[in-house]
Amino acid sequence: MRDAGGVLWLDLSAGVAGDMLLGALLDAGASLDGVRAAVEAVVPGAVRLSTREVRRAGLRATAVTVEGDEAGGPHRRWTDVRTLLRAADLDDGVRARALATFAALARAEAHVHGIPPDDVTFHEVGALDAIADVVGVCAALHDLGLLDVGSRIVASPIALGSGTVRTAHGTLPVPVPAVVELCRGWAVTAGGDGELATPTGAALVTTLAGSCGPLPPMALTTAGVGAGTRDRPDRANVVRAVLGRPTGDPPAPGTGLEPMVLVETTVDDLDPRLWPAVIDDLLAAGAVDAWLAPVLMKKGRPGQVLTALAEPGLAADVRRVILERTSTLGVRQVPVGREALDRTWVTVDVAEGGLRVKVGLREGRVVHATPEYEDVARLAAVSGRPLHAVLSAAVAAAAAAGLTPGTPFPPTAPTPGDPGAIPPGPDDSPVTGRTTDRTTA
């Protein structure tokens, strides 16, 4: 159920966990089948998701159950989870938000334990149930159109709870240290006894919501209620999701361009060996592109301008990466507009094997078709042929398949057995449709 340009408000006055948030979004109309498909893409055959109607302090709510042999069991490193998400056949917006959420968890755990983020081993948040919660929430938001341009997510202050809780690290005070770290800069309350906000829930809210505040002006269209595990007589243990159309707020600029932001800083004292990792961290945080440009700074010092392009809702995570991963003392941010071609992959055959061609499309016609360099390099290394020879063969194969500027896409299918027939595309992008690739600018 896509409704781009909508407003979502999350009522977290009773706390938040990943399954509660997912239940609220499903109760509000997100497709359970769509959520299942996204989770299946990340951990195939390992998780079964189901919902049921329950009562919490007399209120009807939707409870989500995650079943699987591994649920709650294995411990995974942040690098393992990142690999799973990057390899999965997911919508790019869903992948970016899931990566950003787990990256936030990794940063929080790294700070708490005094280790690098890549050394973090998730315990409570590393099992399949938490992966299902994070990916499921991101997929539900996508299905509701709340990851689209012009949409807005606002959340209330988070009730964190009080007391103590037993964890893989022993008995910890509530809120647990990772939740405290994740909620820096966010309005919070105690809200009651016990652990009301889990690290997964806190990471999802503070990563995906653009702001913290009361119910914004809207023409209310629907609402959903997600249930927590416990049924407390004194307070409904639920998350509420309230959706509507914006009213009273100024519309987005009517330029026809996609609103984005540029976040950048200028640095002259960072070890140059660290820059590739910084770029990787920015992309993991949700930036659609990131780059360096050499400049001459004050006093004649050579330096680098680090720039990241991101959606407005992910700008805070991008700024955080720049401030934490570089030696800068500040960042600047400016709004920009972007027009991007639709993009898809087509697989073509050369003598050395199959390789992917990225096709840029506009209004159903090919603008350009570029062989994927990594595939070309792999086939050249395996076959021993010069790189330029394989690249030339790939360009010729793309042209033979009808992938030339100005031609309709997909090209007219040749007869079976014709050597110009287009082989099936890779699983993440069928050649029979167009997809938007938002991994680059």
Report residue 226's pLDDT band, with 50, 70 and 90 as the boundaries. very high
CATH class of 259-338: alpha beta
Q: 21-67, pLDDT tens digit by residue?
A: 999 999 999 999 999 999 999 999 888 999 999 999 999 999 999 88
Q: Under 8 Å CB-to-CB from 90, ≥6 apart: which residues?
A: 38, 41, 42, 98, 135, 139
Show contacts of 206-210: CB within 8 Å, 24+ apart. Answer: 206/104, 206/182, 207/97, 207/100, 207/101, 207/104, 207/317, 208/97, 208/101, 208/137, 208/138, 208/141, 208/153, 208/313, 209/10, 209/153, 209/154, 209/155, 210/152, 210/153, 210/154, 210/312, 210/313
- Tell me what the pLDDT averaged over the chain comes to: 84
Q: 348-368, pLDDT tens digit by residue?
A: 888 888 888 988 888 788 999
pLDDT at position 431 over 70: no
In the chain, which residues fall in CATH 3.30.70.1380?
A: 259-338
pLDDT at position 328 over 90: yes
Buried b (16+ CB within 10 A) or exposed e, 230-242: eeeeebbbbbbbb
Percentage of the residues of the chain whose pLDDT score is greater than 90: 49
Q: Is 44 buried (19+), middle (13-18) or exposed (0-12) by CB count in 10 A?
A: exposed
pLDDT at position 256 over 70: no
Cβ count within 10 A of residue 43: 16
Is-above-0.75 flag for pTM? no
Q: 203-220, pLDDT tens digit by residue?
A: 999 989 877 888 887 889
Q: What DSSP assignment string belongs to 189-216?
A: E--SSEE-B-HHHHHHHHHH-SEE-SPP
